[in-house]
Structure 1
Amino acid sequence: MKIAVRYQSRGGNTRAVAEVIAKTLEIKSAPIDSPLDETVDLLFLGGAVYGWDADPQLKEYLGKLDSKKIGEIVAFSTTGAMKKAISRITEYAYKAGIKVNDKQLCLKLGMQGHGTFGREGGHLTDDQIEKIKEFTSDVLAGFQD
């Protein structure tokens, strides 16, 4: 099975989650400006909420995805309180004709990494890391069934 991990991250939180997912899968993660040239069965794709919506770069990336190269998207997000990025990833994936896995991860990190407050993101707790690992394993187990 071929798997890729891509993310859009401003403050470092979503990047940190992507790195844990990739490490669990024993692959490398990459930002969305890194092309997805190969065909993949699963694309773990993450982003966050900015101004009550998904980042414009993430929406643009989703609009350019080739449905022939992606079997299924697994959405993940970091957020202070909203789950909007997950719904946007799902919405744009469906518009592109790409299936979205039912399992999703929305990790609530409060204001951690929020640039307005000068907080640096990307520092996950052991509990958060464990939750990400469990999510990744759960997705793989469900996909292989």
Structure 2
Amino acid sequence: MKIAVRYFSRSKNGNTRKLAKAMSEALGVEALDISHPVDKDTDILFLGNSVYYEDADPNVKSFIDNLELEKGTIYNFSSSAIRKSTHSQIKKCIEERKRKGETGLKLSDKEFFCKGEFGLMHKDRPNSCDLMNIKDFAKNVVAAYN
């Protein structure tokens, strides 16, 4: 089974990057930003992003538009100070590609979400509990896939 972790974070020490790095530790798979391509034969893609201006970042949407996976399931993980998650925005991107007949990708309904620090809101999030929870999430996804 081939697993990849990709994420988009606007800052070098951003919330999504912290989540991706924790997931990477749990799975023994390098977490890379979305500028790195994903192998066509990847089975599980953990895709990390966060809410910017009430939507998924355009860079993440572009990444999805250009994915060349032949199979596989995407598991979304995200953080936000205000909005719930980016799952619905990511789902719209994948459904649009399916409508055009461009992909057979699947987006799992299972996702990881936690609050993220923004200014004075949700100080120190993601915290150690959030990082432990995303590690458990990743391990459970992989265990269920086998």
**TM-score normalised according to structure 2 size:** 0.83
Q: How many residue pairs align between the two structures?
A: 137
Provide Cα deviations, 1:34-74, integer angstroms capped at 9, x if missing partner: 12244200000011111111101111111111241x41101
Are 2:45 and 1:43 aligned?
yes
Query: What SS does the aligned partner of 1:40 have?
Result: coil
Q: State the alpha-carbon separation in 2 of the partners of residues 138 and 94 from structure 1.
A: 26
Letter in 1 for 2:114: L
Q: Counterparts of 1:2-21 in structure 2 under 5 Å? A: 2-11=2-11, 12-21=14-23
Check whether the contact 2:79–2:85 (CA below 8 A) recurs between aligned residues: no
Amino acid at match of 2:73: E
Secondary structure class of the residue paired with 1:65? coil
Q: What corresponds to 2:107 in structure 1?
A: 100
Q: List structure 1 segments (4+ residues) > 3 angstroms apart after TM superposition.
A: 121-124
Structure 2: segments with no counterpart, 5+ residues:
98-102
Percent identity between the two aligned chains? 34
Unaligned residue ranges in structure 1 (runs of 5+): none
8 Å Cα contact 1:24/1:133 also seen in 2: yes
* Aligned-CA RMSD value: 2.2
Whether the 8 Å contact between 1:75 and 1:90 is mirrored in structure 2 is no
